[in-house]
């Protein structure tokens, strides 16, 4: 028997499925919640499940603390335990084992990268919120405008944690209104009249300082709420995630119209994330400020000197000479040198931290 016509049934079925309930277990449990107490025959008829299956399923539900089986009644009946009681019991059981699980948990970098299809709007938004909340240094998001309220608080919290946040809002025609609506939503906000892309890319650092990237890319129709109108792919493999990030900045980011840029951070300040350093260096440069940089590099050397060039396409106008070039040029006593971020291959040095002060 299909129960999808009742309010919130879809949400309930999806959540119960996440907890490991089979479809038949869900049918039986929802039937019992509605009836309160019923015979196995009544449950079988209403849930469209065989009576033998009802016996097995209700025993499992009783083990989970969700129902009580009256074995001694004739005929046998099953009573649903009030949800406030059953959920409180379940929460208490989870709380009791959490310290033991934490003691056993070994926080390591995943050995098997994730590559998973995502077809549900609810799952996609849940992953998006979770990724923003767990991000440590950077958040990149591309969404249709109707999704923004769903993640507004998470984005604001990320900005409050001093993360580097880029937001591309699509299906936007009124740029003047967008300048008001998305002010402060990210470090840089761009808007685009097209609506083709759903994407997020974040980084997460474990307690052992290992960094992983979380990326999901798909069709904007994935967020329409219709299951058959779009797909997405979740990726955690480092090189694939980096390629998606590069594709976003090389193609989609440049298609948007800049509607908001944050104010430059007060100096002196040390930046642990290189792209954040480049962004704020460029903002200070646009304000007419000359900067002095002390840059720690992966080879243990510290590069110090005046910032002579900033190459980037994070904010308008772009100052890079080739796609995705994001680098600082420093005038040192030994001459001008170039510095890039993580895994740089074109610059002279790879930075681990950058400290700016006014020159």
**Which CATH architecture fits 269-358?**
Roll (2.30)
Q: Is the dihedral of CA 194, 198, 201, 207 positive or negative?
A: positive
Structure pTM? 0.71
Domain residue ranges in the chain = 9-103, 115-261, 269-358
Quickly list DSSP for 154-211: HHHHHHHTT-EEEEEEES---HHHHHHHTTTSSSEEEEES---EEEEEEEEE-TT--E
CATH number of 9-103: 1.10.10.10
Q: Pairing between strand 232-235 and 188-192?
A: unpaired
What's the pLDDT score for residue 6?
A: 63
At residue 208, the pLDDT reads 43
**Is the Cα torsion angle 153, 157, 160, 162 positive or negative in sign?**
negative
Task: Write down the CATH number for the domain with range 115-261.
Answer: 3.30.870.10
Q: By three-state DSSP, how is residue 94 classified? A: helix
10-residue averages of pLDDT along the chain (359 residues): 56 81 91 92 92 91 91 87 89 86 70 74 91 94 95 96 97 96 96 94 60 82 69 79 87 95 97 96 96 96 97 96 93 96 90 96
Cα–Cα separations (whole angstroms), residue 333 to 112, 208, 275, 304: 46, 37, 25, 9
Among residues 255, 312, 259, the alpha carbon closest in space to that of 285 is found at 312
231/233 Cα distance (integer angstroms): 7
Structure confidence at residue 3 (pLDDT) = 45
Give the model's pLDDT for residue 108. Answer: 58
Whole-angstrom CA distances from 138 to 42, 144, 149, 160, 272 are 55, 20, 20, 12, 11
- Please, how many CA atoms are within 13 Å of residue 78, restricted to the half-sphere of its CB? 29
Q: Of the candidates 31, 30, 53, which has an alpha carbon nearest to the alpha carbon of residue 42?
A: 31
> What separation in angstroms does the CA of 172 have from each of 147, 219, 253, 327?
12, 17, 14, 31
Tokens read off for 340: 């890039």
Q: 165: closest CA among 156, 174, 177, 153?
A: 156
- C-alpha 225/C-alpha 280 separation (Å) is 38
- Dihedral sign from CA coordinates of 12, 18, 19, 24: positive
Among 173, 164, 217, 214, CA closest to 191: 173
User: 263 exposed, middle or buried (CB, 10 Å; 0-12, 13-18, 19+)?
Assistant: exposed
Q: What H or E segment, with its residue span, contains residue 31?
A: helix 23-35
- 63 token code pair: 């083990």
């Amino acid at each position: 028997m299909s129960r999808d016509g009742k309010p919130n049934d879809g949400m309930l079925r999806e959540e119960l499925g996440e907890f490991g309930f089979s479809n038949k277990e869900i049918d039986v449990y929802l039937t019992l919640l509605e009836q309160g107490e019923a015979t196995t025959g009544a449950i079988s008829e209403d849930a469209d499940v065989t009576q033998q299956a009802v016996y097995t399923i209700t025993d499992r539900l009783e083990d989970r603390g969700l129902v009580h089986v009256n074995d001694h009644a004739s005929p046998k009946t099953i009573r649903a335990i009030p949800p406030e009681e059953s959920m409180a019991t379940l929460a208490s059981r989870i709380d009791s084992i959490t310290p033991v699980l934490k003691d056993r948990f070994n926080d390591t970098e995943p050995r098997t990268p994730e590559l998973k299809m995502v077809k549900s709007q609810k799952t996609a938004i849940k992953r998006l919120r979770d990724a923003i909340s767990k991000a440590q240094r950077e958040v990149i998001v591309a969404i249709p405008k109707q999704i923004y309220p769903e993640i507004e608080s998470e984005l604001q919290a990320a900005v409050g944690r001093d993360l580097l946040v880029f937001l591309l809002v699509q299906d936007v025609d009124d740029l003047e209104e967008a300048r008001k609506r998305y002010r402060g939503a990210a470090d840089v906000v761009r808007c685009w009249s097209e609506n083709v892309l759903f994407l997020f890319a974040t980084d997460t650092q474990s307690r052992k300082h290992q960094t992983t990237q979380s990326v999901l890319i798909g069709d904007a129709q994935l967020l329409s709420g219709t299951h058959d109108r779009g797909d997405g792919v979740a990726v955690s493999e480092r090189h694939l995630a980096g390629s998606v990030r590069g594709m976003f900045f090389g193609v989609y980011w440049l298609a948007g119209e800049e509607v908001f840029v944050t104010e430059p951070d007060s100096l002196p300040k040390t930046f642990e994330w290189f792209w954040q350093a480049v962004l704020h260096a460029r903002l200070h440069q646009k304000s007419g400020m000359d900067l002095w940089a002390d840059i720690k590099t992966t080879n243990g050397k510290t590069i110090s000197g005046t910032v002579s060039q900033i190459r980037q396409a994070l904010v308008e106008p772009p100052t890079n000479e080739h796609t995705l070039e994001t680098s600082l040029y420093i005038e040192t006593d030994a001459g001008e040198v170039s510095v890039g971020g993580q895994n740089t291959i074109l610059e002279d040095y790879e930075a681990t931290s950058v400290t700016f002060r006014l020159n």
